[in-house]
Amino acid sequence: MKINELFGKKFADVIQPGNNKSSSSQLFDDILRQEVERGGQAAQTSEISGTRNEVTPISAELRLKGLELTENTLSTLATYSRALENIQHKASDLEPFIAALELETASLLEVKSQLDQNDPLAKLLDQVSTVSYVETVKYRRGDYTA
């Protein structure tokens, strides 16, 4: 049984004998060839309320730096949380964690400032830096001194 018999004329109209490419894949080949000839330097655009705005490309290095800082900050927060659970620690023993969190928060905010406001990575950096900042403020305010 042939595929054409199963699906009727749909495939017979699209696939021509001796040519294994459908009209849609031929169209894709044409578009790809045009982009390669232009050098692939078409501006990235996004549709916002009917107008076209250029999107500034973000380097992979900056994205990786942001993700690495996020992971480091979350790791520091987890270690700090475990240190808070240990009742044998004095408040002053937590100072190295707080100093690290303050530096990491500043670094997160620096990377965030280089990103577009609507970038998902910028939102992630904002959330992580907020949690980190709140923890340092609570320590500096004296919430953990008993």
Task: List the pLDDT tens digit at each of the 146 positions of the chain.
Answer: 444 454 454 444 444 445 555 555 567 777 777 777 776 554 444 444 444 445 556 788 999 999 999 999 999 999 999 998 988 888 888 999 999 999 999 999 999 999 988 899 999 999 999 999 999 999 999 887 76
**Residue span of the structural domain in which 32 resides:** 1-37
Q: Name the domain count of the chain.
A: 2
Confirm whether pTM is higher than 0.85: no
In a domain, 32, yes or no: yes
In a domain, 146, yes or no: no
Q: HEC profile for the chain? A: CCHHHHHCHHHHHHCECCECCCHHHHHHHHHHHHHHHHCCCCCCEEEECCEEEECCCCCHHHHHHHHHHHHHHHHHHHHHHHHHHCCCCCHHHHHHHHHHHHHHHHHHHHHHHCCCCCCHHHHHHHHHHHHHHHHHHHHHHCCCCC
